[in-house]
Amino acid sequence: MKQTLLPLLLLTCYITGMAQQTQKPQLHGKNWMAITGKPLAAEAGAMIFQKGGNAVDAACAMLAATCTMWDVLSWGGETQALIYNPQTKKVIAINALGIAPTGATVDFFKSKGYNFPPEYGPLAAVTPGTPGGLCTMLAEYGTMSLKDVLAPAMQLADGYPMEAQTATSIEKNKSRIKQWPYSKAVFLPHEGQSWEAPEAGEIFRQADLLQTLQKMVEAEQEALKKGKNRKEAIYAAYDRFYKGDIAKEFVRSCGEQGGLITMQDLAKWKVMIEEPLMVNYKGIDVYKLQQWTQGPALLQALNILENFDLKSMGYNSTRYIHTLYQAMNLAFADRDFYYGDPYFTQSPMKGLLSKEYAKQRAKLIHPDKNDPTIGPGDPYPYEGKVNPYTQYLQQRGFAFNNAPADENYLDKLRRGTTSVEAADKDGWVVSVTPSGGWVPACIAGHTGVGMSQRMQSFVLDSSLNPFNVVEPGKRPRVTLTPTLAMKDGKPFLAWAVQGGDTQDQNLLQCFLNMVEFGMTVQEAVEAPNINSNQLWLSLGGTKIDDRKPKPGSILINSNTPDWIRKELKQMGYTLNFEDRTSGPINAIYFDWKHGTFWGGSSNHGEDYGIGW
């Protein structure tokens, strides 16, 4: 009898998501919570909270710190955020994504032999967004000065002990770094030796970046002396970066190294404060950024999945995995064709997010097999309109790449950044997914600022996505996608993750882990997820074939039972395995019964949280 009970108990734990011992502890706090991708950066947030700052102040400090620590982003990248304002009881969206510069046209890139804009170097750069995004969030919703909020990052720029992960990344990419003189000077202090990058634990100093941050603080302090208020003074620092001497050096060195960004590009760019998009899933309002991100794909997937009884299927059962995979494929097929910068061409988001459209899409899911021919739907009738792009849908056809999902492909699928989550007892909540300027970044002269590589997320062919074709002044459709959820008019969950095209796949499953299967937030961020490769890659690869969907290709956890593996193969899936498949998710759950925060910080990488 005992021999039969144990396998049944293990099966019950696997299928239902029964509580299990997590590898990292739950975080608890009653005053504040600060979580991000680096331990030192989480400490920067804690320092600001301890000085009396609110969640926006702390999030800005963590953002500044992570940008200063390189590896997965830097100051020349982009910042995307959702903020809950307890005073207005509304969720606000921050669009601090850079734009394609003057001269960045389809003809320009095609003349150089590209099928997509390049992955690396000055021609991969959109204008910097993070400095402006940080200043805007702080000025509009924070309480502290830029000087105080940047203090931890400035200490890091003055010298911090480098982590092994970043040191290894620099060493791995040193041949590309050597193409750019300013990057080489910063990243390779041991040039000519067998190991040319900084060593793990070595003090890494960035004198140029420190000077840039000092200049921004100087602009703020000078404005205060002239009688400007806190907000006006912070925007003075913003102007120095985008219109003053920092901008001039950035543009000079960008041009010197072959880039296109002009002073006019920097000056005309601005941060947009927007209305987020939202759908309701079983009484919970889930908010995402607009369609210049991939965020609405999660909302579309929730609408589709609402037509199924997921709980009865069981957590990560064959039926659940199959239904989830098919719903994500439907949502991502629409993402790949319809999402783009709404300030240029308005996507049919009303139709795409309608419950009626989701029901129609859900009917396409075959219960017993993967459908490799799933493509974009037609949401226009759900807006009372006629689709003007049917000719592109016909040209597009069903594009497959049946080569195995090797390590190179998976790297492009999951390219990481970081995430920042913060909340305080007064009700402010912040969820951020910043990125851009990762190693190997091309540094813009003596600014110490690494340029973005986000241009590669544009397409050059309208049949791939007529909404996301590169144009000067336009924002590319990015993968970056913070999330907030509200229940009964109060914050329920704030969560975000790094990982390219897998971000909204992992965020979707984290949410369902809690809502459908009753996991705690730490269990949910560690729990095994699946990832679909049946989508067009947003990053990496210079050829069309490099980015084509891989139908039926699925990543599952190495502990998936043999019978589920067998059943998935019979349904037409090609299986890939990894020990950790949750993605580095960071999350804050709001326990209104007890008036406390529960923090979840993934066991996937270096992510770290502190609560009080």
Mean pLDDT of 192-212: 98
**Distance of alpha carbon 382 from alpha carbon 122, whole angstroms:** 42
Write the pLDDT tens digit of every residue in 562-589.
999 999 999 999 999 999 998 899 999 9
**Distance of alpha carbon 80 from alpha carbon 94, whole angstroms:** 6
Handedness of CA 235, 267, 456, 396 (dihedral sign): positive
pLDDT of residue 3 exceeding 60? no
CA distances from 339 to 78, 184, 477, 501 (A): 18, 37, 7, 14
pLDDT of residue 8 exceeding 80? no
What is the predicted pLDDT for the residue at 541? 82
Would you state the structure tokens that stand for residue 474, as one six-digit string?
């336009």
**Distance of alpha carbon 159 from alpha carbon 527, whole angstroms:** 36
Encode 172-226 in three state secondary structure. Answer: HCHHHHCCCHHHHHHHCCCCCCCCCCCCCCCEECCHHHHHHHHHHHHHHHHHHHC
Write the pLDDT tens digit of every residue in 488-522.
999 999 999 999 999 999 999 999 999 999 999 99
Mean pLDDT of 100-114: 97
Cβ contact 382:340 at 8 Å: no
Q: Which amino acid is at 216?
A: M
What is the predicted pLDDT for the residue at 397? 59
Q: Is 51 exposed, middle or buried (0-12, 13-18, 19+ CB in 10 A)?
A: middle
pLDDT of residue 294 exceeding 60? yes
What's the whole-number average pLDDT of the chain? 94
Helix axes 230-243, 130-141, angle to 10 degrees: 170
Q: Nearest Cα to 451, choosing from 70, 37, 63?
A: 70
DSSP at 576: E
What is the predicted pLDDT for the residue at 14? 44
Cβ contact 461:396 at 8 Å: no
Cβ contact 239:219 at 8 Å: yes
CA distances from 468 to 138, 294, 369 (A): 30, 12, 32
Write the pLDDT tens digit of every residue in 324-342.
999 999 999 999 999 999 9
Higher pLDDT, 295 or 604: 295
Q: Is 443 exposed, middle or buried (0-12, 13-18, 19+ CB in 10 A)?
A: buried
**Distance of alpha carbon 501 from alpha carbon 436, whole angstroms:** 15
Would you state the structure tokens that stand for residue 428, as one six-digit string?
């402010």
CA distances from 521 to 59, 301, 401, 517 (A): 20, 21, 36, 11
